[in-house]
Amino acid sequence: MLLGKAVRLERILDRNTHRTVIVPLDHGISVGPIYGLVDFKGTVNQVAEGGANAVLMHKGLPRCTHRGYGKDVGLVIHLSASTSLSPKPNAKALVATVEDALRLGADAVSVHVNLGDETEGRMLADLGYVTSKAADWGMPVLAMMYARGPKVPDEYAPEVVRHCARVGQELGADVIKVAYTGDVESFSRVVEACCVPVVIAGGPKIDNTESLVRMVYDSITAGGSGLSIGRNIFQAENPARLVKALSKVVHHDWDVHQAMRFLRDEA
């Protein structure tokens, strides 16, 4: 099982850089079929051709996204969900199992936890259950760790994000996804307190591409292990080109100027 986990991790984390570019496509449950998540095969093909290490989605989508052609890409099955229509949208519930992911040929599973929510206890229990079950099967777990609740005035505060990352690590996750704290110094403190790879979320749609590239570059400079960014990639004018640029930043240490020049030259 230890070998199985190592093999699967290499499908979502580059074996040379130990970093990753993951594109989540799980937004359909939370907010519906938004732009970029209608032509699933087209979207997956674009991000795969751009060099993404993996895509992330709910268990019902692989039947819509398996292409049978093009460049290969890793698969992460998301196990938790809630909708924006709920009176408690931050209360995530398990809607799939590790065994479901195995049957779909997944390389990893993911679980979303919102610390500070009234249902935090249940979400923590779910994460603990999934990491234990995943260990039985040699399945890597990505934990999406956020702070959202009445006692959380700023979910991007460095100490809050640091706490989120540490909870995911201590409950057994193999990769931690957190919000970016806004600068290299503060994010480096998040990374240094976590012994497993830490990747950044994209957050709300960013209209300025250079701001997105800089956020990714700064997170890598701080010691981060890459990104797990959805709508800022799949809703881009050219997702394949953007993924190529971000992959160069993550895996080849391009700076912001190099990435933006590449994007302009390819436009």
Active-site residue set:
146, 177
Pairing of β 141-147 and β 175-178: parallel
Q: What does DSSP say about strands 93-94 and 80-81: parallel, antiparallel, or unpaired?
A: antiparallel
3-state SS assignment for residue 247: helix
Q: What are phi and psi of 54, to 5 degrees?
A: -160, 155
Query: In angstroms, rounded to a whole number, what is the distance separating the alpha carbons of residues 143 and 193?
Result: 16
Residues 80, 114 contacting (CB under 8 angstroms) = no
Q: Distance between CA 39 and CA 25 in Å, rounded?
A: 11
